[in-house]
């Protein structure tokens, strides 16, 4: 059973410290599937019980963040579009930002039965898709990856593996049974 809560999130701006803990409205999203795997859309996240599988299609500068508890076989996948909620213009959809999406999904994983001390993470994506961009502030891919790692560290969730950066987009497939991520990049397949 897939639970998907990513759109329509209203967050109290003045309380950044408890940003992702203050969700006023949650609306379910329409699930889409590719070869039996549920697609996590841009700026969304999904949480599932094993044996469900999730996919993020066409990660360019976006970053895919998988967080899971193998013992309870509960996990989720984020398709984060931008690094920080506080820097964003759209305050109605916290799931599109790496920092707030991680906090939201961790809370939901725990609500579903995952044990926070057993949560682990893997990330992929964050490519520099346009070689003509040299400014650090415009390198969204790198910033997405950095903020994802910083937020996982703040949440005390170990990062087990990553495949980030470069100039090529990726599609990632998350397996909630074992926490593995299969990565398709530039015609090649790898796993972390």
56 is catalytic: no
Specify the higher pLDDT residue, 23 or 127. Answer: 127
Which fold would CATH assign to domain 31-191? 60s Ribosomal Protein L30; Chain: A; (3.30.1330)
- Please indicate, yes or no, whether the overall pTM of this predicted structure exceeds 0.85: no
For residue 67, how many other CB atoms are within 10 A of its CB? 29
Helix, strand, coil shares of the chain, percent, nearest 5, are 25, 35, 40
CB within 8 Å of 178: residues ≥ 6 apart: 70
pLDDT band at 28 (very low <50, low <70, confident <90, very high): very low
Name which of 92, 84, 90, 96 is nearest 154 in CA terms: 84
Active-site residue (options: 6, 38, 62, 103): 62
Distance, CA of 186 to CA of 131 (rounded, Å): 17
Sign of CA dihedral 8, 14, 18, 22: negative
Q: Is 2 exposed, middle or buried (0-12, 13-18, 19+ CB in 10 A)?
A: middle
For residue 22, how many other CB atoms are within 10 A of its CB? 14
Q: Kindly give the pairing relationship between strand 159-164 and strand 120-125.
A: parallel
Give per-residue pLDDT as tens, 131-174: 665 655 578 999 999 999 999 999 999 999 999 999 999 999 99
pLDDT higher than threshold 70 for residue 26 = no
3-class DSSP state for residue 101?
A: helix
């Amino acid at each position: 059973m897939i639970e998907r809560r990513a759109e329509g999130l209203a967050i109290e701006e003045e309380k950044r410290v408890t940003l992702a803990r203050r969700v006023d409205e949650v609306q379910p999203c329409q699930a889409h599937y590719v070869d039996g795997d549920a697609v996590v859309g841009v700026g969304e996240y999904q949480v599932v019980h094993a044996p469900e599988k999730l996919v993020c299609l066409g990660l360019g500068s976006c970053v895919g963040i998988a967080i899971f508890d193998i013992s309870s076989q509960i996990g989720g996948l984020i398709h984060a579009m931008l690094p920080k909620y506080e820097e964003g213009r759209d305050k109605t959809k916290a799931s599109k930002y790496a920092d707030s999406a991680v906090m939201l999904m961790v809370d939901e994983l725990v609500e579903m039965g995952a044990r926070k001390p057993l949560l682990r993470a893997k990330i992929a994506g964050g490519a520099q898709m346009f070689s003509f961009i040299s400014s650090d502030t415009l390198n969204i891919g790198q910033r997405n990856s950095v903020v994802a790692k910083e937020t996982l560290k703040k949440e005390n969730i170990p990062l087990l593996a990553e495949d980030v950066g470069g100039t090529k987009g990726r599609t990632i497939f998350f397996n909630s049974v074992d926490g593995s991520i299969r990565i398709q990049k530039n015609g090649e397949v790898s796993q972390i």
